[in-house]
Structure 1
Amino acid sequence: MPSRTEIVPPVAPVRHTEKKLHGHTLIDDYAWLRDKEDPEVTAYLEAENAYCADVMEPTKALQKTLYDEMVSHIKETDVSVPFREGAFWYYSRTEQGAQYPIYCRKPISAGAEDQLPSDAVREEIILNINELARNESYMAVNALTVSDDGNLLAYSIDNKGFRQYTLQVKDLRTGQLLPEQVERVGSIVWAADNKTLFYTVEDEEQKRQFQFYRHTLAMPHAEDLLVFEETDERFNIGSGRTRDGKYIILESSSHTTTEEQFLAADDPLGEWKLIEPRQDDIEYYVDHRHGLFYIRTNDTGRNFRLVTAPVEAASRSNWKEVIPHRDATMLEEVDLFGPFYVACERTNGLQHMRVFTFEGVVESTAAPREITFPEPVYSAHPHINRLFDTHKFRYGYQSLVTPSSVYEYDVAAGESTLLKQLEVPGGFDRTQYKSERLFATAPDGTRVPVSIVYRKDIFKKGANPLYVYGYGSYGYSLPNNFSSNRLSLLDRGFVIAYAHIRGGGDLGKPWHDEGRLMKKLNTFTDFITVTEFLIANGYGDAQRVAIEGGSAGGLLMGAVNNMRPDLFRAVLSHVPFVDVMNTMLDTSLPLTVPEYEEWGDPNQAEAFEYMLSYSPYDNVEAKKYPAMLVKTSLYDSQVMYWEPAKYVAKLRARKTDSNILLFQTNMTAGHSGASGRYDYLNEIAMDYAFLLRELQPEG
């Protein structure tokens, strides 16, 4: 038996294939790993898992310690803040030892509509995910919606991780499941008659939500009416109700373009009407109040404006501006209510909420009030607000040092009340930690925001292990959220940084535009700039830098790892999108065609050349690389398992260093990893043990 230091990693066989395009030859020696049904593929994945387990075996005690620490910071038996909908208070709760939430409700007592339900009020469990997960290795719930009369629950579940959901309907009066069951369902919407259900269905290969059906309860599924089919492969469809419940909205959307239709919710057999025909690169999103549609749109500027239009004449020619487009402020969302609306905005990378009131049916002339937030680095967003006629607005707030909190804003008084802050047991003291907001200057002069957090009493300039996280794609704004799991690293002296790089949405739509298509390299150079800036300013030891990203953030990891492997000591890469060229040239795969608007179409020579310049798999070279832990899931429907498998195989064959390269495949999960909350903590414990093994061997 070899000693532990002599453990040999598996070597994937080379089976040469090549593809010629635009004067280039794409060589792929590991394309055979795509065949999930091939026993040799399974054997290779299992060999990699065994090798990873062997290498990490000495950290088992540390992993157990980390897991126990993370559990100690969770209030295992807890309950969410109840919200009102119809005649009930709805909430979820967790129980110690149970992997999944339990969804519940309580009837609203007469005369106590504004008072949270007491413990004395009888609880009704509407869905216990732990029961659904019995005998399953994976369980996820997507849609969860109750009919207007409160009698029927429509929900969808996935027991594989492939994000393929099955619709079911439960009679909440009897607890029985109805015969209704539909496969590959996305969004689910009740009509106001409590018997008509609209739902979207995905296509089997591309996993694109493309068909919209109407179903009447007790009628055979085969008789469901196809209301609409989206034929443009760039677009997915989804549906929902306006907050006042008056209309059902059907949305077709690509990454850059939208189109919406509407139907009166009390007339499910009626005629669907189009608001405004789609126009490339124009998005609009609709809600309704008192006969007017309120429409958030980027038709006159990338950062969106707010307009209104009468329901009976909703086309663009009738749009009336309410909030103008502003170059420096992104209008991210508008939450519309009977007496007021909230404009959720982002300026200089931080969220702001302005509250506008109405006088009758028109907007008040009074200046809007702003909900203020106390910290320099934070995340704020609307919470669950199901009531339309209310003077209260709920929002969530948290920061890198403040646990997740739910507030209720009284519009009349202009005051916020804390309803609940996540309890963090195990001796957490927020005053021990410090968060900062910094800016790193890129070579082209762009100032890139950076959020950092560390424990004050352990911080020593230039001496701490540094961990940098990034994403930078799809216009997604990297949140400054609280994580009790993170305490295990902070309490061991780590400085943790979040790089708000171009390609994300942190500074509005233009920030996204500057990091996609033919400007994608900005995403990678921004991340390198941030890391160098943090080291230069003493926020970490240059010899102990770890980085992490997942999915499109895994593309980031692969690209910067090829560009500057000398800068990093360790890399954590989750479900990484690293085989850019082969994936984007295969239109049979999920997401490929819609993704052209993010990455480019490699069938076009200029886009091909640019994408090839950064594709991680295609740019692996014979040189030294950092220590790496790459993780994937067999049932991932967004980044297929073979992308990281091929990437690791090629790295093993090419890299010239002796640093560890670990590859782990979760054989029973999908894109998000383990579904159970305790199983997920075990995954995080392994990640942290890897980081500590590389950056702080003493643990």
Structure 2
Amino acid sequence: MAEKIPYIVESNGNERVDNYFWMRLSDDQKNAVSPDDQTARVLAWLNAENDYAGAVMKHTGSLQEKLFGELRERIREDDETVPYLDNGYYYHTKYFSGKEYAVYYRQKAGTDSAVVILDVNILAEGHDFTGIAGTTVSPDNRLLAFGTDHVSRRQYSLQIKDLDSGELLPDHIQNTAGMAVWADDSKTFLYVSKDPETLRAATVMMHRLGTPVSEDKIIFHEGDETFSVQLGKSRSKKYIIIVSSHTLATEVRLVEAADPGKDAVIFEPRVVDHLYSIDHLNEKFYIWTNSGGAKNFKLMSCPVNRTRMTHWKEIIPHRPDILLENFEIFDDYLVVNERIKGLSNLRIIDIENNSGHYLDFGEETYTAGISINPNAGTTMLR
């Protein structure tokens, strides 16, 4: 049993007792070459627990090896994804036998050869663990932003790679959520900085290439500790979307990709029990929402200059027997992911005449969902 040492934790004006606070180690303690007294105590307890588990489970050793072997045989070591077209380039990833991590490729449309843009196996050299997040290419196709985590805390360092020279730029940002969202100029991006203690995704920052990270501008800070922040970009590429969310509420803010330094504008203020997400294409916002008691969600739209709920118009009503899970908008079509009697269904709706049909998968049971579709003008769905 771990030793109990009472410690008073203060949060939001409240106090609670944490008997195991002594086990919390800082990043400096975790990365130190020589453990201090606290780290040594924590390691001693972990090693004792591992020894105990090993002794109790010793008789299952051969079974564990058998199960591990069976599961591994089901995974192709030399696998690759289907390429997708984005801004004139096809992108895909590959895995190779004997390698632990993916290799990212891209191929210019109309050419025959793909080029490696990121080999995670190289980044992982010398590390026990490597995680990659948020690989995003700049609008001019020249720069790749990506986040790396070598500790397994989802605390990513943002790096920028010049895809022409293959070199990493000096811009290196620590303690982020791992994703950069590019502005139109391909020189500026927004990212989310994490609280160094709680690791809550809390603050949206703006960075300009070639400038010190210390000069990065705060675009938005989420002051409510029960909320966390995410970033995205609209289908139209016109807006950077800031989402503040917790279990029971959502609030979206918008920043123009052409002018990312401007103040973020609230789309619809947060209200307890209201969950929503938005997208934008062809001068219209689309809203997935549970407003008005729509437990299974409904789809609505509004003009660009009137985003408050009073201006929302219904596209797909709430239905008590159908769960609207998500949606994807295209220039001519709207694709919605609906769950009916436990099964996922994809419905294609013609935006011009509002006619629609469901994709027939020819099976009684199956799993279906919307994949990567970066090109809004396509007539093919992934």
Query: For residues 63 and 365 of structure 1, do their structure 2 counterparts lie closer, same or farther at Cα, with a shift above 3 Å needed?
Result: closer
Once the two structures are TM-superposed, the CA of residue 243 in structure 1 deviates from its matched residue by 1.7
Once the two structures are TM-superposed, the CA of residue 91 in structure 1 deviates from its matched residue by 0.4
Match of 2:288 among 282, 293, 296: 296
Q: Matches of 1:122 and 1:55 in 2, distance apart?
A: 54
Q: Does 1:345 align with 2:338?
A: yes
Query: For residues 339 and 139 of structure 1, do their structure 2 counterparts lie closer, same or farther at Cα, with a shift above 3 Å needed?
Result: same
Which residue of 2 is the match for residue 133 of structure 1?
124
Which residue of 2 is the match for residue 307 of structure 1?
300
* More displaced 10-residue stretch of structure 1: 255-264 or 383-392: 255-264
Which residue of 1 is the match for residue 133 of structure 2?
142
Match of 1:385 among 359, 362, 373: 373
Once the two structures are TM-superposed, the CA of residue 151 in structure 1 deviates from its matched residue by 0.7
Q: Matches of 2:287 and 2:17 in 1, distance apart?
A: 48
**How many residues are matched?**
361
Query: For residues 198 and 14 of structure 1, do their structure 2 counterparts lie closer, same or farther at Cα, with a shift above 3 Å needed?
Result: closer
Identity %, equivalent residues: 35
Q: Matches of 1:93 and 1:377 in 2, distance apart?
A: 29
Q: Is the 8 A contact 2:159 2:172 kept in 1?
A: yes
Q: Matches of 1:38 and 1:201 in 2, distance apart?
A: 27
Q: Matches of 2:274 and 2:291 in 1, distance apart?
A: 5
Letter in 2 for 1:82: P
Match of 1:285 among 271, 277, 280: 277
Q: Does 1:105 align with 2:106?
A: yes
Counterparts of 1:145-224 in structure 2, within 5 Å, are: 145-186=136-177, 187-224=179-216
Does the residue aligned with 2:241 lie in a helix, a strand or coil? strand
Q: Does 1:331 align with 2:310?
A: no
Q: Is the 8 A contact 2:2 2:45 kept in 1?
A: no
Query: For residues 266 and 57 of structure 1, do their structure 2 counterparts lie closer, same or farther at Cα, with a shift above 3 Å needed?
Result: same
Q: Matches of 2:319 and 2:308 in 1, distance apart?
A: 23
Q: Does 1:231 align with 2:223?
A: yes
Larger Rg: 1
Structure 1 residues 621-648: Cα deviation after superposition (integer angstroms, max 9, x where no partner): xxxxxxxxxxxxxxxxxxxxxxxxxxxx
Q: Matches of 2:2 and 2:376 in 1, distance apart?
A: 61
Query: For residues 374 and 180 of structure 1, do their structure 2 counterparts lie closer, same or farther at Cα, with a shift above 3 Å needed?
Result: same
Which residue of 1 is the match for residue 358 of structure 2?
370
Once the two structures are TM-superposed, the CA of residue 60 in structure 1 deviates from its matched residue by 3.6
Q: Is the 8 A contact 1:211 1:237 kept in 2?
A: yes
Which residue of 2 is the match for residue 354 of structure 1?
347
Once the two structures are TM-superposed, the CA of residue 261 in structure 1 deviates from its matched residue by 1.6
Q: Is the 8 A contact 2:219 2:261 kept in 1?
A: no
Once the two structures are TM-superposed, the CA of residue 90 in structure 1 deviates from its matched residue by 0.4
Does the residue aligned with 1:157 lie in a helix, a strand or coil? strand
Q: Matches of 1:231 and 1:16 in 2, distance apart?
A: 31
Q: Which has the higher strand share?
A: 2
Q: Is the 8 A contact 2:220 2:264 kept in 1?
A: no
Does the residue aligned with 1:380 lie in a helix, a strand or coil? coil
Counterparts of 1:595-610 in structure 2, within 5 Å, are: none
Query: For residues 45 and 217 of structure 1, do their structure 2 counterparts lie closer, same or farther at Cα, with a shift above 3 Å needed?
Result: same
Once the two structures are TM-superposed, the CA of residue 349 in structure 1 deviates from its matched residue by 2.5
Q: Is the 8 A contact 2:300 2:313 kept in 1?
A: yes
Q: Which has the higher contact order (CA 8 A, sep 6+)?
A: 1
Q: Matches of 1:249 and 1:388 in 2, distance apart?
A: 18
Counterparts of 1:534-573 in structure 2, within 5 Å, are: none
Once the two structures are TM-superposed, the CA of residue 266 in structure 1 deviates from its matched residue by 2.3
Structure 1 residues 468-524: Cα deviation after superposition (integer angstroms, max 9, x where no partner): xxxxxxxxxxxxxxxxxxxxxxxxxxxxxxxxxxxxxxxxxxxxxxxxxxxxxxxxx
Q: Is the 8 A contact 1:190 1:198 kept in 2?
A: yes
Does the residue aligned with 1:313 lie in a helix, a strand or coil? coil
Q: Matches of 2:166 and 2:7 in 1, distance apart?
A: 57
Which residue of 2 is the match for residue 53 of structure 1?
54
Q: Matches of 2:380 and 2:306 in 1, distance apart?
A: 31
Once the two structures are TM-superposed, the CA of residue 14 in structure 1 deviates from its matched residue by 5.6
* More displaced 10-residue stretch of structure 1: 52-61 or 296-305: 52-61
Q: Matches of 1:185 and 1:27 in 2, distance apart?
A: 30
Once the two structures are TM-superposed, the CA of residue 103 in structure 1 deviates from its matched residue by 1.0
Does the residue aligned with 1:95 lie in a helix, a strand or coil? coil
**Runs of 5+ in structure 1 lacking a partner?**
1-11, 20-25, 111-120, 395-699
Q: Does 1:34 align with 2:26?
A: no
Which residue of 1 is the match for residue 29 of structure 2?
none
* More displaced 10-residue stretch of structure 1: 258-267 or 135-144: 258-267
Q: Which has the higher helix share?
A: 1
Which residue of 2 is the match for residue 244 of structure 1?
236
Letter in 2 for 1:155: F
Q: Is the 8 A contact 1:16 1:27 kept in 2?
A: no
Letter in 1 for 2:336: A
Query: For residues 285 and 32 of structure 1, do their structure 2 counterparts lie closer, same or farther at Cα, with a shift above 3 Å needed?
Result: closer
Q: Matches of 2:3 and 2:180 in 1, distance apart?
A: 46
Query: For residues 307 and 137 of structure 1, do their structure 2 counterparts lie closer, same or farther at Cα, with a shift above 3 Å needed?
Result: same
**Runs of 5+ in structure 2 lacking a partner?**
9-15, 26-37
Once the two structures are TM-superposed, the CA of residue 356 in structure 1 deviates from its matched residue by 0.5
Q: Matches of 2:144 and 2:242 in 1, distance apart?
A: 21
Q: Matches of 1:63 and 1:283 in 2, distance apart?
A: 43
Does the residue aligned with 2:51 lie in a helix, a strand or coil? helix
Q: Is the 8 A contact 2:93 2:105 kept in 1?
A: yes
Does the residue aligned with 2:170 lie in a helix, a strand or coil? strand
Counterparts of 1:427-446 in structure 2, within 5 Å, are: none
TM-score in terms of structure 1 length:
0.49
